[in-house]
Structure 1
């Protein structure tokens, strides 16, 4: 099987290559091709990938090309992991948000709007090429905002798109750890949209332990590695939210910590990436893997620290765990979905797919993030019924924003982009929407100028 990675120069590509090369359930992986506009950077990433292959004793070719058709032709799976405008665009978006009194974040708030608007046109163009040269390939979308981009793909292309994200499985493992259990012993009733999902019920060896967990403040605090959510919030909801709900439920705190730190996550990651590629440029790939792993440790250890605690990504993480061998993460969910797609029996994995009645509150074509039955027969969302009243309105409003954003990108309409931000609960004001769009376009005329 040939795998293609769009955005192959991204910093998580070696992690994905490691997952693919070591996946026991993949049949005949022979080639991984990387596509990216930055060929020099991608060659450095490919060198790390070749070292991973060599250490595994595998026979997998790692190739690089700026020709999308050549990269995708004949592929069985295409991973979409592009970042239009690079990390500098993310950092600029976050600064615009903060300047307008909103937390800066790449998938929620103004940063999420900008990322979607610059990404949709490019992704649809790429999808058209993939559909032509690899019509039977699965198009696994990592690119954020993952649910929104997946919905654009399903509505406006013919690729077999599935959105994937490691946030739900990470939450499941944290809940299992808080209960002193193994995740394999547990079942989770989870529903929502990407970066807007909740665990509604937790079962341990068949027993519903949700109420017991919600009553136990010590265990609730142990679900998160920081002070993301107060136990009282989760008890009031009767739900356990995924971590990105922090930017909805505690928006003022997120902004205050960013202002206190004098930075956004995107700005710090941009500096960390510069340091990574400078170091990789001075060593061979064998030593480069050690540098890369340390980079991942520092990045992972600091995740959400800036927003929740005004922490920093800089300095030694203090972690010694091999980031390639963690139980969760970017590469684990990719492999879980891909192995399920090659299985004769249904496997349950949370993914972003067309609703088709799974969530009763949403339209059939809306992309939702729910447990799915996945096998070589395809991907089907499992029914989850109605959403709890405490979150239903938020989900409906965010989905309206997502639909309007897709229309704005497809129709190249600045007015629709303003409407999308008006409908978005994190913005929700007409004057603010217009000011934000103008500021975002001014910061990135190359990719957002079509909305001016």
Structure 2
């Protein structure tokens, strides 16, 4: 089987290689094609993969190319993880919002909508190329903002596009362990949008283990999301929230901490990646391993006290590369796998459009992706999902129609933008900062 990675020069590509080349990998990839617009980055990542390959028995043939059609041709699976605008774009996403007094974050709020405005056009063109060159391939999307991008690509390719994220499955596994069970021994109810969801039940032997877990300080202490939001809050809502809900529940605190920091997350990543790609050293693998450790240790630092470190269990979800591998294995082998994925809503949440993308528990097998039935979504959870999804769909519509007005409405509809005037200023400033956005929003 052939796996093509769009964004093959990306920093995290070696992690995907480690997963597919592991001795116990549940599916064997014969060819790994790396596509990127940067030949220099492909060369550096290729050197790291060569080092990793020397230590493994099952190594796919590795090809690198800047020719998209060549990379896609014959692909069984296509994995997308690109950053349109690069890390410099992320800095502008964050700083532009902060300058206007609203949250500056990569995928949540106005920064995420700006990211979508310049990413959806590229990803739509990519989907059209896939439809022409590799129409039978499964597309696994990790390009952020993943929910918006997946929904935009599904408009071209249908349900063969699946969005992945490692945060919800990590939450589920930590919660199962804290409840004294294992991920394989439970069923669960998780619902939301990408970077906005809740684990609402954990069932084993017919019993919901979540109420007992929520009642135990010792159990909650082992769950990063509970520590972020506060034990009293997760008990009040009766669910465990995805970690990104920190930005919705504690918007003022998050904005203040990000504003007060010496650098934004984007500035940290930009500096780190510039150093890595410009000077990988004589041992690029060692340089990469250290940079990866520093990045993971500092993830969502604004949500923790200055001297608080992440627990080892906080990063035990397996990572997005493991999610992608599990998804490919289930589709290719037919062995059912339980996952949390970004898929078409259909009638799962009746209050949302059928073609909206939601994030829910699924069973994956050779016949495809099968979402689990979920309990009704009501009250504040439904309200937040509806409001954010409305903003996301307005932004997708703005790209397809080239409409500055729809973009303005999308920003104004988002719960983290507190003023219609600020929404208009955000669209204007992002259009000035990114010529491609200005070129898209012509109507």
Name the TM-score class by shorter chain: over 0.9
CA deviations over 1:309-341 (Å, ceiling 9, x no partner): 3679xxxx99999x9xx5511211111111111
Distance in 2 between the 1:303 and 1:88 partners?
18
The Cα offsets for residues 219-267 of structure 1, whole Å up to 9 and x where unpaired, read as 2233117941111111111111000001100011111111221321111
Equivalent positions of 1:201-216 (< 5 A) are 201-204=201-204, 206-216=206-216
Secondary structure of 1:56's counterpart equals coil
| C-alpha distance in structure 1 between counterparts of 2:277 and 2:219, whole Å | 40
Deviation by residue 1:350-408 (Cα, 9 ceiling, x = unmatched): 11111122223322211110011211111122211321323111101111111111101
- Following superposition of structure 1 onto structure 2, how do residues 304-323 of structure 1 map, counting pairs within 5 Å? 304-309=300-305
Structure 1 residues 411, 318: CA separation in 2 closer, same or farther (over 3 Å shift)?
closer
Contact kept? 1:131, 1:159, Cα under 8 Å: no
Residues 311/95 of structure 1: CA separation in 2 closer, same or farther (3 Å cut): farther
- RMSD, aligned CA: 2.3
1:297 aligns with 2:293: yes
* Whole-angstrom CA distance in 2 between matches of 1:338 and 1:246: 31
Q: Contact 1:9–1:35 (CA<8 Å) still a contact in 2?
A: yes
Tell me, yes or no, if the aligned pair for 1:351 and 1:369 is still in contact at 8 Å: yes
Alpha-carbon distance in 2 for matches of 1:212, 1:331? 32
Spell out the pairing of 1:240-279 with structure 2 (5 A cutoff). 240-279=240-279
- 8 Å Cα contact 1:257-1:308 kept in structure 2: no
What is the aligned partner in structure 1 of residue 153 from structure 2? 153
Q: 1:210 and 1:297, CA in 2 relative to 1: closer, same or farther beyond 3 A?
A: same
- Residue in 2 that maps onto 1:13: 13
1:229 & 1:90 partners in 2: Cα distance? Answer: 25
2 CA distance for matches of 1:59 and 1:199? 37
Residue number in structure 2 paired with 1:36: 36
Change (3 A) 1:319 1:61: farther
Task: Please name the residue that 1:431 is paired with.
Answer: 421
Deviation at 1:451, TM superposition (A): 2.0
Check whether the contact 1:190–1:198 (CA below 8 A) recurs between aligned residues.
Answer: yes
What is the distance in 2 between the residues matched to 1:302 and 1:414?
Answer: 36
Contact kept in structure 1, 2:7 and 2:35, CA below 8 Å: yes
Secondary structure of the residue aligned to 1:55 is coil
1:192/1:368 contact within 8 Å kept? yes
- How many Å separate the matches in 1 of 2:202 and 2:159? 34
Deviation at residue 176 of structure 1 after TM alignment: 3.3
Residues 48, 288 of structure 1: 8 Å contact kept: yes
Cα displacement string for residues 37-74 of structure 1 (whole angstroms, at most 9, x for unaligned residues): 11101210122122222211224121111110000000
Give structure 2 stretches of 5+ with no counterpart.
none
Aligned residue for 2:333, secondary structure, equals coil
Residues 26-35 or 166-175, more deviating: 26-35
**Structure 2: how far apart are the matches of 1:111 and 1:358?**
28
Measured in 2, the distance between the counterparts of 1:157 and 1:335 equals: 21
Listed as ranges, the matches of 1:135-154 within 5 Å are 135-154=135-154
User: Please, which of 339, 356, 359 is the counterpart of residue 369 of structure 1?
Assistant: 359
2:410 to 420, 427, 431: 420
TM-score when normalising by structure 2: 0.93
Contact 1:172–1:183, Cα closer than 8 Å, also in 2: yes
Between 1:252-261 and 1:22-31, the stretch displaced more is: 22-31
Q: Distance in 1 between matches of 2:32 and 2:97?
A: 37
Q: Distance in 2 between matches of 1:387 and 1:162?
A: 22
